[in-house]
Structure formats: structure tokens, C-alpha cells
Chain A
């Protein structure tokens, strides 16, 4: 375990060495941002809408007491979405979508000697392959989480409109009332950390793949599993530290 941790830290160190040519690396960062950000927008939108809707219906069901104002459903759905569902659930889904893609892409490059080809040319392979993915993860996952929060809250409103469990005006009143900006800051910190975890762990698994197609698949699986575990662990630590 300590050997792996040491290799992971050394790989990160190599990844952030001075690039051979900034322009080429910048183009790679942009490409990765499009792949991570735009490429994941569809799945994030779908899960956010459904989770927002389901959360609102469940909160309305659990708080069906005449003593509790109906608007509380909007307030709880908003805070749950901002603090937990959007950053954590989105990141777990992104670990599957983006993380497996990163691990299998780099793993395939390793077993087909494309990484050797980069090194022979004098290119810092970790810098060229991993740094742009980490930068894309740190920048694009927070943006996706902002989109997810917006869509999650919208999903809750749609659930109110369609089910009638809570009136849309009560829901909106709940969403707008007693808003604490800290919750958004916590969500963004979580998103940036989760983005880093997904990109770096999956890239590490891919980079040290050896063998063939079977091992590439195993690396992708390991990358996703370890990323998910680390996301949940980091979620707990950040929540404890910031709230």
C-alpha cells in the first residue's frame, strides 16, 4: 500500500513538471475539458433532474405533518441537493464515466507502447497525458456540479408541479428561504477535490498497467472502485471540516 502511495505521489510530481511547449499542453487541456465537461453534461442532467424530483417527493412524504410548514420540503431538498446529492452522486457517476475512460485510454496507450513512444521522443509522458486530465477534472467537475444543483432544484419543482405533493409556490418559498452561501462553497470544494481524485487515481491505474486487454479492463475497474471509495472518504472529511 505504501509503495503504491509513493508511486502515486511521484507520478503526480512528474505530471506537473514544466511542459516542453505550453501551447501543445494547453490544446490538450482544452480537449480534455470538452471531453470531461461537455461529454458528461447529458448524464449529469438526467440524474440531477431525477434525484431532485425523487428527493422532493420523499421529503414531502416524510414531513406530512400539519405542524410542519410545506415549504420545508423545498428547503431540505435544496440543502440536500447542494451539499450531498449534486457533488457526491454526480462525482460517483463521473468516476464511472470519466474515470474508466481515463484509465482505459492511458492503459491502452501503455500496453500498445504509445507511452514508450512519447518517452523515446523526450516527452514527459505523465505531464502530457495526466496533467491536462487533472486540470480538466478540477475545473470541469465544479461546473458540472453547479449545473447539477440547478437541475436538481428544477427537478424538485417539476415533481411538485406534476405530483402536487407540495405546491410549487411552497417549494419555491422553501428553496429561497434561509439560504446559506456556505453550502455552495462546500459543494464547490467537494467537486474540485472529487475531480482531482477521479482524474489522478484513474490516470495512475492506467499509467501503471502492464499486460494486455484484460489488464486494461482491470485497471479501469480498479480506478473506478478506488475513486468511489476515496470520494466517499473525502466527502466525510470535507463535510466534517467545513460544516
Chain B
């Protein structure tokens, strides 16, 4: 389980996060949603240690991640997988080398074992046989799937996903969501997803944290979201006429 306690983050005079506390459970899709500039990506970066919180703490299974130095964090980091908004695949490496990269650095596996693992991960994301392609030869959806394959190569306990649907067509978006959901359920991963895609919210939002102006404004499930009377959340989720019509039918 991941727990964040009273997280504050300030850039200059701009306080982006104003005391956020939340718990993210294993085996669930934990979604952080909110409008642009609400602080969701900053919160994600504070959790994974890319930003140091100005105040507050982050716990990974009761271990205080915020207080650890670089070396102490390494064992936890090897249990973290992350899919970035633009996939962040290493341009100079093939698909296979991207997936094997963390295995090369942090395991004592033989080359054959690492190759087996890479093939398994590629098969898991339906990209068998794409081993030798470079990221520049892949479509946006394929890059996301390779990003997921790399994220799961070390069998992570925690999976972080930043805007998994950005730049993808609706069908591919749903496939990516389903894939993340399957992996979360299958391996009992603690998955934290930052998104503002309503299909993801309604489809896989087991636990949703809504941020507004750097604060936690609402928390609940995708079933509860339709019934809420929270004004800001309603304005965010049901901004489109289509979503409003869908809500009215419920």
C-alpha cells in the first residue's frame, strides 16, 4: 500500500499542492483526476520521488520514502514500474533492449533468462515479434504498450501511470486501460493512474481521488461519482453534453 500524508509542494511562490493525504491500495486502479493545473502530475512526481515535497511524507508499505537517500531508495525503486505520458522509451535502444535494461542493471539473470522475460512481457502486451524495432518505428499506442512491458519487466509491486490515454484514439485508449486493469488484478499491483480521461474514470476507477486547486476535493469510486453532489467534480466529470446526457439517463 502507498500512503501520502499532508503533501505540500511549492514552486517559487506558487503552491501547487496544499496538504494532500490519501491511501492507495494493492490490486486496485487508484486514479488521480483533476483539471489541468490541479496538481495531479506534481503529486505523482512527489510520490515516486522525482520531486521532493516541500512538506509531508510518502510511505511505501510503511517505509518512509521521503526520508530515504538515493541508495536507500534503490530497493523500493526496483519494485516500481512507471509508464510516462510520452512513454519515455530510450531512443537509442530497441524494444527488447528497453525492456531488458532494468534486468541488466538489477538482476543476475543470464542473457537467455532476460530474453525470455522480455518476450513474455511483449507477449503480455500483444507485441510479440517487435523485439528489434526502435521506438521511432512504433506508433503511439505501441510505444505505450512497450512502456508498459518495460514497467512490468521487474515484476513491480507498484505501477505508476501518467496520462495513459493522451494522444491515443478511443479504441486504443480502452485497450491500454484494459491492459493496465488486467495487470493490476493479476499481479495485485498497487496502481496509481493520473488521468483526465472520462472513459478511464468510469471504466477502471476502483478508487478515485479528485484534485482541485491543489487540494483533495473528493474521494470515492466510479459508482459513487455519478451520484455525487460535489459541484466542482460534477463540472469536471460532466463537462460535455454527452456525459451530462449519460448522467441524466442513470
Please list the residues of chain A having a beta carbon within 8 angstroms of any beta carbon in chain B: 20-21, 24, 108-109, 112-114, 116-117, 119-124
Determine the chain B residues whose CB is within 8 A of the CB of A112 once the complex forms.
Answer: 86, 88, 91
> Across the interface, do B104 and A21 meet the contact criterion of CB distance under 8 Å?
yes
Interface size, B (range):
20 to 34
Inter-chain contact A120/B80, CB cutoff 8 Å: yes
How many angstroms from the CA of A21 to the CA of B103 in the assembled complex? 11
A21 to B107, CA, bound (A): 9
Pick from B84, B105, B160 the residue with the most CB of A within 10 Å: B105
A113 to B160, CA, bound (A): 14
Residue of A112, A117, A123 ringed by the most chain B CB atoms within 10 A:
A117
Measured in the bound complex, the distance between the Cα atoms of B205 and A108 in whole Å is 34
Residues of the B chain whose Cβ atoms lie less than 8 Å from the Cβ of A109: 90-91
Contacts of A114 in B (CB 8 A): 88-91
B105 touches which of A21, A116, A117 (Cβ 8 Å): A21
| Distance of A237 Cα from B84 Cα, bound (Å) | 46
Instruction: Flag B53-95 by CB within 8 Å of A: 1 or 0 each.
Output: 0000000000000000010011101101010111011110000
CA distance A112 to B154 in the complex (A): 22
CB-CB under 8 A for A121 and B77, given A21-B105, A112-B88, A114-B88: yes
The answer to whether A113 and B85 touch across the interface, beta carbons within 8 angstroms, is yes
Can you list 15 residue pairs at the A/B interface with Cβ under 8 Å?
Answer: A21-B106, A24-B104, A24-B105, A112-B86, A112-B88, A113-B88, A114-B89, A114-B91, A119-B49, A119-B50, A120-B82, A120-B160, A121-B102, A121-B105, A122-B106
3 closest A-B pairs by beta carbon, nearest first, are A122-B77, A113-B88, A117-B88
Known: A113-B85, A114-B90, A120-B80. 9 other contacts (CB 8 A): A108-B91, A113-B86, A119-B77, A120-B77, A121-B77, A121-B80, A121-B105, A121-B106, A123-B105
A21 to B78, CA, bound (A): 14
Q: Does B48 contact A (CB under 8 A)?
A: yes
Is A20 in contact with B105, judged by CB distance below 8 angstroms?
A: yes
- Residues on A with beta carbons closer than 8 Å to the beta carbon of B80: 120-121
Instruction: Closest A residue to B73 by CB, please name it.
Output: A122
List of B residues within 8 angstroms of A20 by Cβ: 74, 105-106
How many angstroms from the CA of A20 to the CA of B74 in the assembled complex?
10
For the complex, what is the distance from the CA of A122 to the CA of B102, rounded to whole Å?
Answer: 9
Partner among A24, A108, A119, A122 whose Cβ is within 8 Å of the Cβ of B78: A122
Cβ contact within 8 Å between B50 and A120: yes
Nearest Cβ on chain A to B160's Cβ, whole angstroms: 8
Least CB distance from B15 to A in Å reads 20
Tell me, in angstroms, the Cα distance from A116 to B83 when the chains sit together.
11
* A124→B70 contact, CB < 8 A: yes
Within 8 Å CB of B77, what residues of A?
Answer: 119-122
A117–B73 CB distance below 8 A: no
Q: How far is the CA of A117 from the CA of B105 in the complex (A)?
A: 14
Q: Using Cβ atoms and an 8 Å threshold, which residues of chain B touch A24? A: 104-105
Q: Contacts of A120 on B, CB cut-off 8 Å?
A: 48-50, 77, 80, 82, 160
Q: How far is the CA of A112 from the CA of B160 in the complex (A)?
A: 17
Identify the closest chain B residue to A19 (Cβ).
B105
